[in-house]
Chains A and B, each alone.
Chain A
Amino acid sequence: MTPSAYERWLALYEASATRDAAFSTMSGVPLDPVYGPDDGEFPGLFPYTRGVHASMYRSRLWTMRMFAGFGTAVDTNQRFKEIIAAGGQGLSTAFDMPTLLGLDSDDPMALGEVGRCGVAIDSLSDMRDLFADIDLFTVTTSMTINSPAAVMLALFVAQAEEKGVARAQLGGTLQNDILKEYQAQKEFVFPPRQSMRLVRDTIAFTAAEMPKWNSISVSGYHIREAGSTAAEELAFTLANGFAYVELARDAGLGVDEVAPRLSFFFNAHIDFFEEIAKYRAARRLWATWMKDHYGAKSELSWKLRFHTQTAGVSLTAQQPEVNIARTAIEALAGVLGGTQSLHTNSMDEALALPSEKAARIALRTQQVIAHETNVVNVADPLGGSWFVEELTDEMARQAEAIFAEIAGMGAGSMLEGCIKGIEENWFQGRIAESAYNLERSFNTGQRIVVGVNDFTEGNDDADLEILRITNEDERKQVARLHDVRRGRDESKVLVALEDLTKDALDPEVNLMPALINASRVSVTVGEMMGAMEKVFGRHIEVPTL
């Protein structure tokens, strides 16, 4: 007799180690790891609507991964150490705008932007300082970078190998999701098809040499921040994920080689139940599509693992302390939705980059959810709610309709559909339309934002202490860069750049080895990107309103 869903779940649950904690309510009522009928859906079982692990947070809490970066590499390294000391378990690097666009800190376009939105990384020397005294064997690292993702991976590998950590031992994630850059975040450099060649190269390189590395974090976060609806965030993100699977397949990699290395990154916006439904639908859709459309055989390919960040766009500059409450509610949605890692925004982020105190409160918010509320004892606690189940189905239905439109644009190919949709401004137009509709509902007062269009008493209170990034950081960073240029062997730099250009000209060649070699001899980010731009060209978005 085939075992029931419950029996299969129980076998998985019993094989999982659990944390040393009391799994009961505050008043002593013992709690089951999951509730529901024996023949219903269970966490850890296909299609994973209820979670990717049978034991969920009873085995391991989510990773409290706080995003940080500002000023020079030395400044950010200091913040990284504070995060680790405060109990953070993973690092997530925010880069400044010039780095995100592959420009050196002394580029004329970089003026005023160096070290402001994140850390400035120009060369191996900066990467070395960024991770100084951080144990790369135990701390995993996420790097939020896209257009120059291959360059940043090369620099990271080069600095780790200098420290004696082999590339195969490095655990972490490269965001490397270029499709959503054209759709939403708009930090692009090369044209879409040329960018996808670099994505292919990083997928192939990490598949062959970095078994603990997630090659792409397929990101809906920015799509949502740019103004999409929850269903659009869900559908565009998964469609981009399908496109990367097709890209890797075209490069000769099997779906089961690439899919397990994709992780996802979603927004946690303020509409509590809709967000939870979105995460549940995401897992179900991904599992179904991987198995049925792409023929994945491995369970690891079916399981959608994701990082969550609370919604920056939901924060208000008015009465900023109220943002702590918004962030707590959003973070709770991420946890009840089964996230694998979480970043909570700081209360001051509608004003500036977070101060140390604001960042600590944001981390403490996660710790309250994890250690005080007891919501971590039962997997998918809202599963079976008529409302949440129906909303989950609705999210999935809307996403399927959008998948059909994208596949239609690509004559059946999601990869081609995503690229065509970018080239024809289809994604950009839909996102802008949704953003406009939402803004109209605020302007008409149909939707209330506390402190903005209602409940404004207190808006004139004294300002928060905010983090000030001065132009001093820019001068310091430019001086650091000039030191690097003076101290390096120019003949090696020239050879490395020639090799990179030669490899870039042949679309069959993987660019990672040439980028790592260039990193080692202190070729700068701007120089590597510039050499590739000469071959690949530059993307110009035709503006639409």
Chain B
Amino acid sequence: MGRKDRLNPFRRKPPSDELPPDAGARAWTSSARIGRILDQGFGFLVVGAGISVLALAALLGWELYQGAKEAIRRYGAGFLVSSHWDPVAGRFGALPFLYGTFVSSALALLLAFPLSVATALSLTEFAPVRLRRPVLALVDLMAAVPSVVWGLWAMFEMVPWLRQTAFPFLQKFFGWLPFFQGTIYGVSLLAGALVIAMMITPIVTSLAIEILQSVPLTLREAAWALGATRWEVMRVAVLPYVRSSLVGAGVLGLGRALGETMAVTMVIGNRPEILLSLFAPGYTLASVLVNEFAEVTSEEHLSALFEIGLTLVAVTFVVNFLARLLIRSVPFFFAPRPLRTQSMETNG
């Protein structure tokens, strides 16, 4: 038995037949006992950490519910279907915030997801390996930029550009769509969605790169060996292998989009109204919390804001749950068609 084995503190039991008969035996068993205690202690620690996360989530939910109880009792279901938000009169309806949160997050994901996956694919499948590292570092750096910095940039650079160039352009060519009608202020639901998209793109890209790199080389090689083109390798060997993980990356991005606060507040216009036009200002659940929480002066208002927080948590929960269902049914969406290998046909 080697020295290494003896010093391993996590060994379960000293094999009795190999116990040395000399005095060293006592030292040996005691170190094994310490090891066992450490082992158990570590186990408790890990389980404790796991439980504490659950407990924290439960506590959060409970506290939010306690704060919101008054509003739930007072407004009932009307809170979620009314669009009248008036702190002075004490009437609270959260529908515009729900609408703004859903629309801005969904739009952001719609813009960010294809871009992220395409970036990741180009880096892992097409770009020279030498480029991969620096670009990856840059993407990770972008993910670390604080929300308020994005917001400042968006407010002073992006929004004026949108107002003067991009939105008039969209209105000129797509103005017949109800989404691009109305007065152009610059700050709008669309501006909010764009800034969220920019903020979640680095994260989703970074995850997608990791995921794509996890595809075994043998799969690609097999596809190459069958004479697949680059596109076909991607479609048949790479993407089917990782599709559920990629959707998972999208869900993580969506989770961040739903709760994105500072940057969105700075460009979305903060108007609790439901308008079909994406050029119109909107509002999100997270924004109304950050805007009104500090200056709450009445109990009803405070309670209503707690219910907004509770709603936001519930929305995030439901979205994650639905996304999980989606992942399970994903083969249905992405089912790869049989490989049409023109090269083989021409050869044969």
Answer yes or no: do A and B interact: no
